[in-house]
Amino acid sequence: MGSILFIILSSLVVYLFIITAIRVFGKRELSQLSVIDLVFILLISNSVQDAMIGGNINFLIGGLIAASTLFIANYFLGEIFFRSKRISNLIQGEPLMLIYEGKPIVKHLRKAKISSDELEASIREHGVAKFSEVDLAVLERDGNISVLSNNYKNRTKKKRKASEIFPGEIM
């Protein structure tokens, strides 16, 4: 019974710690997950797993130290990205123009591994019927496709599925 109670209390401590750390270190919007954010979340979950079910105070302290280290590293990486566009572009990539003034940019579509059919489906999701009606379509760093139409007056942004961003890697 004592070890079950310890696991319950440890899980609550870790939960409160993660919520507090997210509030302290901040997050623009949780819906804007980049690859770096995803890796961070996976590492955080892995680092606190033993802290919650390890059964003793050493696992709890070790997990909280590991999670703290990751939060601090993630914060400083964000600061580096904010201060250096060059490093940010190197690590996170750059937005990629897919359509300009109604014409798909085939070279960029190949680079992004997006077919014309996929791009057509994406612009339809934005309420635009055909390429010629799109002023600008951009594949953003986070995998979203932004579409500007109606003489640059209508702007929409639609999330791509992870399986579209990482084809063949996610089932």
Domain ranges of the chain: 2-90, 94-163
pLDDT score, position 38: 80
- Averages of pLDDT over each 10 residues, the chain, 171 residues: 79 87 67 75 88 86 92 91 90 90 93 90 89 91 84 56 46 39
- Measure the CA–CA gap between 85 and 58, rounded to whole angstroms: 40
Nearby residues of 108 by Cβ (< 8 Å), 6 or more positions away: 96, 97, 98, 139
pLDDT score, position 171: 39
CA 92 vs CA 20, 80, 87, 117: distances in Å = 26, 12, 8, 26
pLDDT score, position 15: 87
pLDDT score, position 162: 42
CATH of domain 94-163: 3.30.240.20
pLDDT score, position 154: 56
pLDDT score, position 86: 92
pLDDT score, position 153: 59
